Structures are given as C-alpha cells and as structure tokens.
Structure 1
Amino acid sequence: MQAFLYIDLAANNAYRKPVVELVQKALPTVTVLDLDSRSDELLQHYALRLLREAERTVVCIKADDGAAGLGNLMPLLEELFQEGRQRLVLLQGEHPRLQRIFSVRPHVAFKAVGAGEVPAEVSAFLL
C-alpha cells in the first residue's frame, strides 16, 4: 500500500483541502488521510497505523506563522523518524522547529515545497 498523509498545522485551516483533492485525483490508488492540530485521538491512531502499514508514504505538513504546536502530533513525528522506511516528508510553508527537527535526521527524506509542487513530488516519489 502507498499512502499520502496531509497534516494541516496552519492557524486558519479550512475544511476543503485543495492539495488533498489534487493528490486523490492524480493518484486514485493511493490511500489518503488528512488531519489537523485539532484531530481527535482516533484519527491520529489511524494516521499512525497508516504510517506503519504503508510500504511508501508521503507526509505533507502545512504550516504558517501561526501554526499550532506539535504536542499531540509527536507520536506521528516519532514514527517518521524511524530508519529504514520509504517515506518523504514535505513541508508546505514555514515552521522553523520542524525544519530543525528534520535537518538533524539525515535518514529522513525532507523537502520544503510550495503548494503547487506537492502533487508532482507525491507522484514522483510514489510512482
């Protein structure tokens, strides 16, 4: 299974997620899950399970200046730090703490991208 996990940490997140819709349209066989900083424990559990079970995963984290803290997302981040997994982490926007966290983990494929670049990066990694 291949997966795309979209995490919206932006201060003003909307219900409609254009990036998620574009990925679903371009790659209909890829399992897609999106969550935000207010997602409940059950949804976070499903996201963690998806990360563990997928053979290849792209995780896109959207952030901005008013981004929420990382407290409730730490289990997901810790799973991303595991070595030997085929994962790509994309950061859409600015989040200095996340950039520092991933910069000291060279075994994690990490890239800062713009919103328009996300579908192409997902396709390139998963196809």
Structure 2
Amino acid sequence: MATFIYVEVNQKFSSAYQKPMLEQVKKQFSGLDYLDLDGFSEEFLTKQACQLAELADICGVYYKSFAPEASLGATLPLAEILIRRSQPTLVILQGTHIRLEKLFSNRSNLIFLKNPEELTLQEHLSHLYSNTLS
C-alpha cells in the first residue's frame, strides 16, 4: 500500500478546500491512498492518518506551514509515527516550521525536503511512487 498525506499547519482554523498540491498528486498518482488533515482535525481523522502511515509500504507526507511556530495540534501523532518508520518515507515541508524542521532533519530513515523546487519535488515523488504503481 502506498499513501500520500497532506497536512496544513496553521495558527487558526482554515476551511479552504482547494489544495493544489493534493490535487496534483491525485492526478499524477491515481493508485495511492490519500488523506488530508490539519492541526484542528478531529481525533478520528488523525487516527486514520496515523494508521495509514503505519501500514503503508511507501509513505509521502506534505506539510504546508503557514506559521513558523504554529502548534502541530492534532498532527503531532502523525509526525511521531513518521520519525519511527523504517519503510520508504518522503516528508516535504513547504514553508517554515521550527519544530517540524527539528523533528525531521538528520533522520536517516526518511527523506526530508524543505521548500523544494517544483522539479525536485516531482522527481522525488516520481521516484518514491514509480515502483509501487507500475
């Protein structure tokens, strides 16, 4: 199983339904399991995201940070699972978030990209998912 999880980290609740990165990945890699959440997500959704991350053979997580010091809130358990994973894991941080950078940098068990160029991002996503979906 391969999964892609989109996470927004913000200081206040946002009801934005347009998530261009998530839509782009859905279009490009149609065979993945997808989920999106934020720091204000309900416990059920957070548990579902954690379960997907734990069970996935391959996992990509895209964090979009709107505030460098925003609370991780409901997304913290997911971050804890990601740092313990031994399977192929790609974590992308778009924006700046002090705690996420500390959690994910220098982890040998995952690939961490901070504010990657579009081409670099696409290359990493293609490499991660290409063997799974072919």
TM-score (norm 1): 0.86
User: Is 1:107 aligned to residue 109 of structure 2?
Assistant: yes
Unpaired stretches in structure 1, ≥5 consecutive residues: none
How many residues were matched structurally? 127
Per-residue displacement from partner, 1:78-110 (whole Å, max 9, x unpaired)?
110114221111111111221122124333221
State the match for 1:122 in structure 2: 125
Assess if the C-alpha contact under 8 Å between 1:23 and 1:119 holds in 2.
no
Partner Cα separation in structure 2 for residue 84 and residue 66 of structure 1: 28
Q: Indicate the SS of the match to 1:81.
A: helix
Q: Distance in 2 between matches of 1:20 and 1:78?
A: 22
What letter corresponds to residue 126 of structure 2 in structure 1? S
Q: Identify the residue that residue 45 of structure 2 maps to in structure 1.
A: 43
Whole-Å Cα distance in 1 between the matches of residues 122 and 54 of structure 2?
A: 22
CA positional deviation for 1:119: 4.5
Q: Is the CA contact (8 Å cut-off) linking 1:60 and 1:92 kept in structure 2?
A: yes
Corresponding position of 2:80: 78
C-alpha distance in 1 between matches for 2:10 and 2:118 = 17
- Work out the CA distance in 2 between the residues paired with 1:83 and 1:57: 9
The structural deviation recorded for 1:115 is 7.7
Measured in 1, the distance between the counterparts of 2:40 and 2:90 equals: 23
Contact kept, 8 Å, 2:88 with 2:128, in 1: the verdict is no
What's the Cα RMSD here? 2.1
SS in 2 for 1:72: helix
Give me the whole-angstrom Cα distance separating, in 1, the residues matched to 2:117 and 2:28.
15
Greater Cα offset, 35-44 or 58-67:
58-67
Correspondence 1:56-75 to 2 at 5 A: 56-65=58-67, 68-75=70-77
The residue type equivalent to 1:55 in the other structure is: D
The answer for the alignment partner of 2:4 in structure 1 is 4
Structure 1 position 87 matched with structure 2 position 96 = no
Q: Summarize deviations over 1:11-32 as a string: whole Å, max 9, x none.
A: 5742211111110011111111
TM-score (norm 2): 0.82
Equivalent of 2:22 in 6, 20, 23: 20
Percent identity among equivalent residues?
Answer: 33
